[in-house]
Each structure stands twice: as C-alpha cells, then as structure tokens.
Structure 1
Amino acid sequence: MELRQLLYFLEVARKEHMSLAADNLHIAQSAVSRQISNLEEELGVQLFEREGRNIKLTYIGRMFAEKASIAINALGDAKQLINEYLDPERGSIRIGFPSSLASNTLPQIINAFKKEHQDVRFHLRQGSYDYLIEGIKRREIDLAFIGPVPTHDPDIHTDILFMEYFVALLPKEHPLAAAESIVLRQLENESFVFFPKGYILRKIAEDACLQSGFRPKIPYEGEDLDAIKGLVSSGMAVTLLPEITLLDNIPNDTLVKRVTQPEIRRTVGIISPKNRDLSPSEKLFYDFVIRYYSILSRQQEFD
C-alpha cells in the first residue's frame, strides 16, 4: 500500500466523483482509477459503488476512509513536528473554537501571543461543541477553546481558564427594564430565541429554565449570534447568553440583566489530546494561554 493510493482514495471519497478528484489532484483520471483499483485489489474489498454518474463509499469503504484519514493526519503531524523542533517559532497551529468565543476571547489571546511570537501561524476552525471534541480526538485540530469544559472524557486533557455567567438579553421596552437583576422564573411567559437543539448553549439555557420550574416557549431559533440578538432587539423575544458574547457588543434597543435565581454558569477552557504530545509550537501557545489567564485571574482578585 502506497501513500499516494491513500491520498487519491481520500480525495475520491471527498468528491464522490473520479474526474473531479483527478482535477483536484492535477493528474489523469485513468491514473486515479488505476490506483483505486490497485488498492481495492490489495485489500480484497470493494471501496466504492456507483450511483448514477457519481460514486459513493461502501460500508467498509467508509470505515477504511475514517482510519486512512487519521493515518494521513498523523503523518502530517509527524512532518510538522520535525519542522517545529527545528524552529518552534515558525510552526503552525490548528485552533478550534465555538461562536460564543469568536468575537472576544479568541482574538484577544491570539493578539497577545503574536506580540511575543510573530511567526507562529494559526489555522482557525469554528465549530459546534461536539465537533471541537471530536476534532481533537481525530487530529483534525490541535487545540480548542471550549465552554463548558468537558469533564469525563478519557481521551481529552482539559484546563479551565475562567468561569462566566449567563445573562438575560431583553428588549429595551421590556416590563423588567428597570430591574437591576431578575429571577429567571419572571420570564416564564416570554417567547425565547435560542440556538437550535443540539447546541450546548441551548441545553444550558433550557436546563436553567427547567430548574426554575418552567419549560420555555421557543418559537424562534438561530444558528448565528447576531441573528439571535437581532430578534431580541426587534422586541420579538428574549434570550439567555454567556456574558462574554455581549462584551462591548450589546445590540441597540436591548438591555442586559443579571440572572440571580438560578445563577447560570459555564466553565471556559482549553482542551488538547491525551494520546499524543503537543508539538513545540502547540506547547508554546498552550503554556502561554495558561500563563495569560493565570495572570489575568490574579489581577482580577486585586481589582
């Protein structure tokens, strides 16, 4: 089995079309077909099946593609590791992050890091809670910022960086506008706008409502933070969001209210794989992040 066979196979699996894969690989279609045939012959199984003009992976083909992808990523990691041992300051790091940390936390920490390490490169990948965890396990990303921090995954190393509260975002003319803080039960009869089901921020907010004794009415859903804020700004709904998503970014015609009963909190941290050592560049960034938030925490204690 040759490395090029795996690369050709994975490209055909991605494109589900032999000629499109060949175009992407800048080689003749016949060469791709021949290498796929050789691979199937060596393995003794059929990896693809035809569906009209396209081709799709067979069941065993999907299983093989998953393992082949991990192998190719591992080879890439090995090459990167050698380069970074030669010069950690010129390495490349794949960072995962959720949308809730995109506008403040992530740019803040990368900006601080780049002041000391200008030549380290970043590849940024935004994704859902489950994507970030699986991306770390599958070597698709190197490090990820995440909230809440997973606590019971044996394949993930975790470090909590800080704790933050959820707040209520209300329309400016809401009856509770004059209140300094609110009890969540006071929003029992409101229409909420949340992220769709499956999003961790949706689960945290819904669980808080259930803990308060009511099931929230959710006529609106949005995958984008700005869309959610926009619906609140228009007076159509209320929502619950991590306070960091509103830092220097409170929409017009809205008010932010602290929620006192129950207090809704999440941990925010950084995760890395347990089954491999970090590369020198990754370790450089990882140690910087831990040190940065440790200093920040001590400063806040004295404020």
Structure 2
Amino acid sequence: MQLRALMYFDELVRTNSMRAAAENLNVAATAVSRQIENLEHYFGTTLVERSNRGIKLTAAGELLAARAGRTLRELEHVHQLIDDLKGLQRGKVTIFANGATVANLIAPVLAEFSLRFPKLRFEVAITSARQALDALASAEADLVVTLFAPKLSGVKVRLRSEITYDLITSANHPAALQPEISLREIAALPLALPDKSFGARLAFEEQFLKIGVELDPVFVTGSLEMLKELVLREAAVTLLPALAVHREVRSGQLAAIPVSAGKGVRTSIDLCVAPDRQLSFAASKLVDFIEAFMRGADRPKQSERKKTSV
C-alpha cells in the first residue's frame, strides 16, 4: 500500500468530496479516484460508495478512516524525530488551548519562545477542554493547555498551576488605585463577564454566592476581546487573570486590583502531554518553556500589576 493512497483517502474523508479533495491536493479528481481504487484493491473490499450526491463510506471505509488520520500524524511525528536526530532545529508544534483566557496567557509565551527559536512553526487551536484532550489522544495535538480539564485516560498532566482572577478596570476608574477590593464592592460595580459556557463564570458565581450575593452583570459575552474593550471604554469592569491583560496594565490602560481577604476566584490550569508519545525537539523545548512560565519564572512583578497615578 502506498502512503500517497492513504493521504488521498484521508483528504477525501475530511472534505467528503472527490472534487474538493482534488483541489486541496492540487491534483485531478481522477487521480484521487485512482488512489482510492488502489486502496480498495489492497484491502479487497469497497471503501467508498459513489453517487451523484457525493460519497459515502462503507463500514470498511469507516474503519479505515478512524485510523488513517492518526497513522499519518504518527508518521509525520516520526519524520520530525528523524529531523531532530539530524540536529535540525526546525519543526512545527501544534497546541490546543481551552478558551480565550488561556490563549491570552500562552500568547506571550509563544511570542518569546518564537524569538528564541525563529525556525520553528506553531499552530494554535482554541477549543473546548474535551476537544483539546481528544486531539492530544489522537495525536492531532502535541500539547494542551487547558482550564477545567476533564479526567481522561491517555493524558498526562505535566504541570498543574493556579491562576487568580483580579478585578480589571480602566486606569481612570476610581477603584484603580485601591490596593485591594472586596467581593461586595465588586458586585456593586457594572460588570462584564463571560457567559455560562465558561467554567470561570461558574466559579465566579459560586464564590459570590458564598457571601450571599447573586451576580447581575450588565454585559455577558463569550469574547475576551469584547470584555477588554468594554473595560477600556469605561462601560464596565471585569474579572480576569492579571496575565491576560499584562500588556494593557503595563501600558497604563488598565489596572488589576486583587480581591481582598484572599477571596479571589482561583482556577487550575493544566499543561498536558501524551504519556506514550515522545515529544519532538520543538515540542519538548516548548513544553519546558511553558512549564517554567507556569511556575512563575516569567510572571509580572507585583509592582507591575497596578496602575500608578498619572
């Protein structure tokens, strides 16, 4: 069986169209059809049923499709490991991150890492925690950084760290110069919060209910950028990890005020890898770099968390 035939079949499964698969592969549709026929001859059975409405996988085709993608990704991984043995500092790392907050936390890490290793390439997918871990198990992802990760077999938590959510305000907000703020004071402010599909939002509500306060946010959105924009325009305040707005805090646009009495919301963030798959040079270096960051090596100093008066 030729590797090309398997690649063509995988693309056909992904697009569900001979024409679309051919366009993506930059070949004629007849070439795709011919490779599928080669696979059917190799396995001795029909894999694809063709009709005017498109293609449909047979039971044998479904069985092959479930394994073809992983097989190709594993071969690509082996290719990367062979490159590593040759001492080539090149490669690609695929990271799956859970939620916009995590994306904003790892963005500065990736930026710094890329400057140190400019020959490497990165692909970042923002998904649910479950989708991210499934991608890791299927070899689609090299590593995963996620909040509220469900426990799954076939996943190794390399490091679990804790992040704290501060009150985020505009630099001109009256609360911006306070050393800390209580939950009751926060509840009285116009809030912009993530929607209830976010685990952090559920954690917020639980923490406020402990003091007998029910949250009534003015704005609810699934967009971290919109949360920040509403705060920048002084229409609301929000709750985010200070690291998620580190750039805006340092530039004097926003302020991060800790919650008093140690009652701020804290959530765990996990760095996950596959326990049975050797990381490539690029992925291994990145995992070490992220781990150092999560342990606090590159976190902003306390003096940088607050906006000084202007």
TM bin (shorter chain): 0.7 to 0.9
Query: Partner of 1:153 in structure 2?
Result: 152
Using the TM superposition, give the Cα deviation of residue 73 of structure 1 relative to its aligned residue in structure 2, in angstroms.
0.6
Structure 2, gaps ≥5 residues long: 303-310
Give the Å deviation of 1:166. Answer: 0.2
What is the one-letter code of the residue matched to 2:283? E
Displacement of 1:138 after TM fit? 1.7
After alignment, is 255-264 or 172-181 more displaced? 172-181
**Partner residue, 1:165:** 164
8 Å CA contact 1:194, 1:239 repeated in 2 = yes
C-alpha RMSD of matched pairs (Å): 3.9
SS at structure 2 position matched to 1:27: coil
Contact 1:128 1:199 (C-alpha < 8 Å) held by counterparts? no
Which residue does the alignment assign to 2:306? none
- The whole-number CA distance in structure 2 between the counterparts of 1:199 and 1:56 is 36
Structure 1 residue 273, shift from structure 2 partner: 0.7
Inter-partner Cα distance in structure 1 for 2:58 and 2:213: 47
Q: Is the contact made by 2:167 and 2:186 (CA closer than 8 Å) also made in structure 1?
A: no
1:273 aligned residue: 274
* Alpha-carbon displacement from aligned partner over 1:164-205 (angstroms, at most 9, x marks no partner): 310122467877667542332444466643334433443443
**Gap change, CA 1:292 and 1:168, over 3 Å in 2:** closer
Confirm whether residue 199 of structure 1 aligns to residue 198 of structure 2. Answer: yes
Q: Which amino acid aligns with 1:229?
A: K
Instruction: Give the drift of 1:228.
Output: 1.3
- 2:280 & 2:247 partners in 1: Cα distance? 35
After TM superposition, give the deviation of residue 252 of structure 1 in Å. Answer: 8.1
CA 1:95–1:191 in 2, change beyond 3 Å: closer, same or farther?
Answer: same
The equivalent residue for 2:121 is 122
> What is the 5 A alignment of 1:11-90?
11-37=11-37, 39=39, 42=43, 44=45, 47=48, 53-55=53-55, 64-87=64-87, 89-90=89-90
SS state of the match for residue 202, structure 1? helix
* TM-score for the superposition, normalised by structure 2: 0.75
For residue 237 of structure 1, report the CA deviation from its aligned partner.
3.8
Q: TM-score, normalised by structure 1?
A: 0.76
Query: Which deviates the most, 30-39 or 131-140?
Result: 30-39
Q: Could you say if the C-alpha distance between residues 213 and 175 of structure 1 is closer, same or farther in structure 2, counting changes exceeding 3 Å? A: farther
Partner residue, 1:9 = 9
Give the % identical residues. Answer: 24
CA distance in 2, matches of 1:255, 1:59: 58
CA drift at 1:87: 1.2
Which stretch has the larger CA shift, 170-179 or 252-261?
A: 170-179
Mapped to 2, the partners of 1:12 and 1:213 lie a distance apart of 56
- 72-81 or 7-16, which deviates more: 7-16
CA 1:172 to 1:78, structure 2 compared with 1: closer, same or farther past 3 Å? closer
The AA in structure 2 aligned to 1:111 is: E
SS at match of 2:140: coil
From the superposition, tell whether residues 185 and 44 of structure 1 become closer, same or farther in structure 2 (CA, over 3 Å): farther
For residues 202 and 295 of structure 1, what CA distance do their matches in structure 2 show? 24
Q: Is the 8 A contact 2:169 2:236 kept in 1?
A: yes
Note closer, same or farther for the CA distance 1:57–1:107 as it changes in structure 2 (3 Å cut): farther
Measured after TM superposition, the shift of residue 243 of structure 1 is 1.4
Whether the aligned pair in 1 keeps the contact of 2:161 and 2:295 (CA below 8 Å) is: no
- Which AA in structure 2 matches 1:165? T
Instruction: State the AA in 2 paired with 1:107.
Output: P
Q: Aligned residue for 2:134? A: 134
Q: Residue 232 of structure 1 aligns with which residue? A: 231
Segment of structure 1 superposing worse, 10-19 or 209-218:
209-218
Residues 93, 122 of structure 1: 8 Å contact kept: yes
Bigger drift between 172-181 and 75-84 goes to 172-181
Aligned residues of 2:292 and 2:298 also touching (Cα < 8 A): no
C-alpha contact (below 8 Å) 1:147/1:269 kept by paired residues:
yes
Q: Which is worse superposed, 208-217 or 287-296?
A: 287-296
Shift of 1:111: 2.3
Q: CA deviation at 1:69?
A: 0.9
AA at the equivalent of 1:276: R
Bigger mean CA offset, 153-162 vs 290-299: 290-299
The 1-side partners of 2:40 and 2:179 are apart by: 68
SS of the aligned residue for 1:296 comes to coil
Q: Tell me the amino acid that sits aligned with residue 278 of structure 1.
A: L
